[in-house]
Amino acid sequence: MEDSAAVAFADAALVLGAASRGQAIGDLELGYAAPSARAARTAGTLPRPGASGGSVEAHRHAAEVALRAVEAITVCQGRLDAALVVATAAQATSTGAMLLKEKDLAGPDELSRTARDRWRSMAKRRTREEVAPATGWTAGESAHLIGLATAPARASFSMIDAAC
């Protein structure tokens, strides 16, 4: 993991801790060099910490810290979403391999086209049945995740490129 991502995860953990204790987010000292902070630093409008309580500068600083927190959490969220897809793909792959081994088959190439389609469908269904309660998602939401996780790499990247 690159250094900025590690700092973002550390900051997100600080924000989570502060939020769970009812501590003000604006009082935290975050290290993530968020795009907004870099832009503010370049423009010379980055607020300075240590301003007198209740001043415009103190509120500006608290707002900037909160914005950094939002950006750090968003970075983490994106990385965790990607990891969720990878973990779901591993779950589906292992489930598919288990189904083949239960029939003493070495691989899907030993199946007819129709049997291969049924095997793939069964692996996805079993994965969905396990992922849905683990995530608290509906069967439909889980099916979308499993569809993305089991899509050919070319299709997955095409969908991601289209969304961005």
**Structural element, H or E, at residue 61:** helix 56-102
pLDDT higher than threshold 70 for residue 40? no
Tell me which long-range contacts 49-57 makes (C-beta under 8 A, separation of at least 24). none
Q: Which pTM value belongs to this model?
A: 0.73
Render pLDDT for 133-158 as a digit per residue (tens, 0 to 9).
999 999 999 999 999 999 987 655 55
Cβ–Cβ under 8 Å, residues 73 and 15: yes
Which pLDDT score is estimated for 110? 94
Residue-level pLDDT at 97 = 95
Binning pLDDT at 50, 70 and 90, where does residue 162 land? low
- Residue 34's nearest CA partner among 8, 62, 2 is 8
Selection from 88, 80, 90 nearest residue 1 by Cα: 80
Which residues have CB under 8 Å from 128's CB, separation 6+? 139, 142, 143, 146
Q: What is the pLDDT of residues 48-105, one digit of tens each?
A: 666 677 788 778 778 888 888 888 899 899 999 999 999 999 999 999 999 999 999 9
